[in-house]
Every structure is written in C-alpha cells, then in structure tokens.
C-alpha cells in the first residue's frame, strides 16, 4: 500500500496520454496515495510523455532537468512514463542518472508494485504485453465529470514512415466491446454527457470477442441513456470507409465533427510517407462526408518539410487547405523520429525553409478559421459547459463542432449542456452569452 504517500503527475502529449494519466492516477489512488498540488510536496514525481514530435521530447528533457533540484530537496522518487520511456530507455539513463524508474507503455498496471519495491526492482520496465489489459479509472482521477475519454484500442499496424507510434505503443490491440459499454454506462450513471473514444487508429477497431467494428460500437453507445455526444479519434483516411460515414449519420448523438489527418497534399510525399491514400482519395471522402453532413467540422494534421518536399509539393498542400477549409489544423515541422523508415532518409529540407512554410500555412489557416467562425455570429448553439473559463469572469465549453466557446452568464452555470448566443469570435474561439 502507498497510504500516506503523495504524487505529482505531469502529462505531455495527446488525449491518449491524458487518458493514460487518468488510469495511472486511479491506480495510485486505489493504493492510498493522494495527489499533491505542486511538485515540491510530492513523494513520487511522475511524468507521462509523448515521443511523436521532437519538440515534445525536447520539452520533456528540459522539464526533467528542472526537476532534479525538487527531487533531491525532498528525496522524492522521479519516474518517467510513456512513449519516451519506451523509445529512449538507454538515453534517459545516460542523460538523467537521477531518474529512479522508467516505465513503458505496456507496464502501467504494475506502477504501484514498482514504486513499492523500487529499491529491489530494475529501474527500467518497458516489456510488451499481449492482449488487452483492463485498467479502470476512478471518478476523482477524471479531468472532467461531464466529458470523458474512453480508450477503445491502442497501437498501430500502419507504419507510416515518419511515425514512432508502432514502436512506442506496439501493434494494434482492441478492447472488448462489452468492457467499453460497461465504462460508458458507468460514466452516464455518474452524469457524464459526452464520451470521446480514443485510439491511434480507431477506424480499425474490432471487438476481439465478436468481430464487431467501430460502426457497431458507435450504434451500441448511442443507445446508452444519458450520453448526449459521441466523438472518436484518431481516424486514418486509409481505413475511413463510406460505411463508417453513414454510421455517423445514423445517430444524432454522434457529433458532426471529425479529425482526419492529411499530413500532405502532395501524392509524391504521401507515397514517401507510406500513408496508403492519394489526395484524390482524401478529397472523395471529404465530399461524401459533406454531402451527408453539410455542417460537419473537420480538423487535420499536416507536416511541412518532409524529406525531398519541394515548393511545388508544399503548394499542393496549401491548395488542399483552401479547398477543404478545415476548422482546425495541427501543423508541424518534420523532425526525424528514432526507428522510423523516414529517419534513414536524408533530412534535406533546410530548417529555415521548414519554418517559412509552417508560418505561411498557419497564417492561411488562421484566416480560414476566422472566416468559418464568423458564420456563427448571432446564432444560438448548444454548448457543453466544462466550468469556469480562464479568461475572466466567464464560463468555458465546447460546441458540437469542437470549438472553444467562452460565454457570460448572470448565474453560476452548472456543468452540462446550455444554449449560448454567439456575439463575437476570433480564429481560435467563439464568444457569447447564455441564452434564455
């Protein structure tokens, strides 16, 4: 038992990392440990990490360097978790010898055991496990009480040439549909209104017991009383079928919002990336989505400066950006990731060229987002209120289309769905006032 011990858990990365941290916190709470409000007051300092982008790894390394003083002052145990732990095992031990424990992506369930027996156990725990391991999440470990992440699969079999995920998370593993439904029903019973289904490639989900796919899972969740909004990410365009698009239309609980990573608008670069689709394939799927859901909001990922990318290749990406008109774009400069096929190709696009292209892309996207957001002015929309806003005396939430909405209210608005009249906007959020 870890009764009386405190922990501080910092998370780098995406929604999957946040959900992993909720699982880890639940394990520690079940053992009697309690969260510390600041790192200086913790017996265990745990850092959950992301290795998908070089920048996130650099930020983590910098943070780890700053933790040395806090660790030594209190005598805390310092633990690195997640994808960086899985990929950079030896480098971590060499660069940060004061690390007490390194735990990979398949070893989370044993973290309490590792902490209890740290002096006798190995410092590195990064082995693989076959099959799905069920890790429940305590209600108090959830970041939100009205919107919850629910993992349905993990890993990836695609091996895109730039991506470290198959090496950090392993091959695809699928959670039993019955376990997913059980968690969703428990969330609904506790007042949760929205679930976000997570996986590195949710389109490929298959129930290991029945073989049911994502469309069947969505239909089952849509029948759960109390759940009002359903989202899923991340989708791979290669696996995103017309049947799944029609499944999105089948229930109004499934939000008309989709994250569909493009990465590049150039067929030549897409082939080098081993993405398995062309720009024409991608656009055909966008056309079908918009023909069945004219109001759908689309977001994407784009990498600029992939090896051999020319100005012509980049122009094709910019052209597609203007054609699709995404509501949000997560854009990055290419950086080689360890173990990937692309890391063996000469990184021949100069850094300054990458920076220039990223600035141009982000400026264009900012204009597009502002134009799209202006379409909501003076309209009343449904918003899931997530609590007080960080921007003054306001409340914050998200629309069905996943826009951030900051709004005023004469009363203290409880967490839940509210009607908001949109009175202003910027490129990154909407502003309004409680309606009615």
385-397 average pLDDT score: 90
What is residue 119's predicted lDDT score, i.e. its pLDDT? Answer: 47
Which sequence spans correspond to the domains of the chain?
6-125, 139-374, 380-434
What is residue 125's predicted lDDT score, i.e. its pLDDT? Answer: 62
83-104 average pLDDT score: 91
Q: What is the CATH number of domain 139-374?
A: 3.80.30.20
Contact predicate 229/193, CB 8 Å: yes
pLDDT band at 335 (very low <50, low <70, confident <90, very high): very high
Q: What is the pLDDT of residues 200-234, one digit of tens each?
A: 999 999 999 999 999 999 999 999 999 999 999 99
Q: The tokens 């854009």 sit on which residue?
A: 331
Compute CA 330 distance to the chain's CA centroid, rounded to the nearest angstrom: 11
Residue 169 has pLDDT above 70, yes or no: yes
Phi first, then psi: give them for residue 177, nearest 5 degrees.
-60, -35
DSSP 30-46: HTT-EE-SSGGG-SEEE
Class of domain 380-434: mainly beta
Q: Could you tell me which residues come within 8 angstroms of residue 1 by beta carbon, excluding any fewer than 6 positions away?
A: 31, 32, 116
pLDDT band at 189 (very low <50, low <70, confident <90, very high): very high
36-56 average pLDDT score: 92
Q: What is the pLDDT of residues 94-141, one digit of tens each?
A: 999 999 999 998 889 889 888 887 744 555 666 666 678 888 888 899
Label each residue of 229-282 as H, E or C. EEEEECCCHHHCCHHHHHHHHHCCCECCEEECCCECCCHHHHHHCCCCCCHHHH
What is residue 411's predicted lDDT score, i.e. its pLDDT? Answer: 84
The CATH classification of domain 6-125, taken from the options 3.40.50.150, 1.10.10.10, 3.40.50.12160, 3.40.50.620: 3.40.50.12160
What is residue 172's predicted lDDT score, i.e. its pLDDT? Answer: 95
Output the average pLDDT for the chain: 93
Contact predicate 432/420, CB 8 Å: yes
pLDDT band at 308 (very low <50, low <70, confident <90, very high): very high
Q: What is the pLDDT of residues 25-43, one digit of tens each?
A: 999 999 999 999 999 999 9
What is the C-alpha to C-alpha distance for residues 265 and 300, in angstroms, rounded to an integer?
12
Task: Give 436 or 178, the one with higher predicted confidence.
Answer: 178
350-369 average pLDDT score: 98
- Helices 311-324 & 351-374 angle (0-180, nearest 10): 10
Residue 298 has pLDDT above 60, yes or no: yes
240-268 average pLDDT score: 96
What is the C-alpha to C-alpha distance for residues 365 and 26, in angstroms, rounded to an integer?
39
What is the C-alpha to C-alpha distance for residues 150 and 143, in angstroms, rounded to an integer?
12
pTM of the model: 0.87
Beta strands in 146-189 (DSSP E): 147-151, 153-154, 173-174
Q: Tell me the residue length of the chain.
A: 436
Q: Could you tell me which residues come within 8 angstroms of residue 407 by beta carbon, excluding any fewer than 6 positions away?
A: 383, 394, 395, 396, 397, 420, 431, 432, 433, 434
How many CA atoms does the CB half-sphere of 163 hold within 13 Å?
Answer: 23
């Amino acid at each position: 038992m870890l009764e009386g011990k405190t922990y501080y858990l910092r998370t780098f990365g995406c929604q999957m990392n946040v959900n992993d941290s909720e699982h880890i916190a639940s394990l520690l709470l079940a053992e009697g440990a309690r969260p510390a409000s600041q790192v200086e007051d913790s017996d265990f300092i745990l850092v959950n990490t992301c290795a998908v982008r070089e920048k996130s790894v650099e930020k983590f390394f910098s943070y780890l360097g700053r933790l040395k003083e806090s660790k030594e002052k209190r005598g805390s145990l310092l633990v690195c978790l997640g994808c960086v732990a899985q990929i950079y095992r030896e480098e971590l031990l060499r660069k940060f010898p004061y690390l007490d424990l390194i735990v990979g992506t398949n070893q989370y369930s044993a973290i309490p055991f590792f902490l209890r027996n740290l002096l006798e156990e190995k410092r590195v725990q990064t082995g693989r496990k076959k099959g799905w391991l069920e890790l429940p999440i305590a209600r108090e470990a959830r970041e939100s009480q009205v919107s919850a992440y629910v993992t349905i699969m993990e890993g990836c079999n695609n091996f895109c040439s730039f991506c470290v995920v198959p090496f950090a998370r392993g091959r695809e593993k699928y959670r039993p549909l019955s376990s997913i439904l059980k968690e969703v029903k428990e969330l609904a019973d506790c007042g949760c209104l929205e679930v976000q289904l997570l996986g590195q490639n949710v389109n490929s989900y298959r129930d290991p017991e029945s073989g049911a796919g994502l469309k069947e899972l969505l239909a089952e969740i849509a029948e759960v009383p109390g759940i009002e909004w359903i989202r899923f990410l991340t989708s791979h365009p290669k696996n995103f079928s017309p049947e799944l698009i029609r499944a999105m239309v089948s229930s109004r609980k499934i939000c008309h919002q989709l994250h569909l990573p493009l990465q590049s608008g150039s067929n030549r670069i897409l082939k080098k990336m081993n993405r398995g689709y062309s720009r024409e394939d991608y656009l055909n799927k966008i056309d079908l989505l918009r023909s069945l859901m004219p109001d759908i909001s689309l977001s994407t990922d784009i990498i600029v400066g992939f090896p051999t990318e020319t100005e012509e290749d980049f122009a094709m990406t910019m052209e597609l950006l203007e054609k699709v008109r995404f509501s949000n774009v997560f854009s990055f400069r290419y950086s080689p990731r360890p173990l990937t096929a692309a890391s063996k190709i000469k990184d021949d696009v100069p850094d300054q060229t990458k920076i220039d292209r990223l600035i141009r892309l982000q400026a264009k996207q900012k204009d597009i987002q502002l134009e799209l957001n202006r379409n909501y002015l003076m309209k009343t929309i449904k918003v899931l209120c997530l609590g007080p806003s960080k921007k003054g005396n306001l409340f914050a939430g998200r629309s069905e289309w996943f826009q951030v909405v900051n709004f005023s209210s004469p009363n203290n608005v409880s967490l839940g769905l509210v009607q908001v009249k949109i009175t202003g906007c910027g490129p990154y959020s909407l502003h309004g006032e409680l309606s009615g």
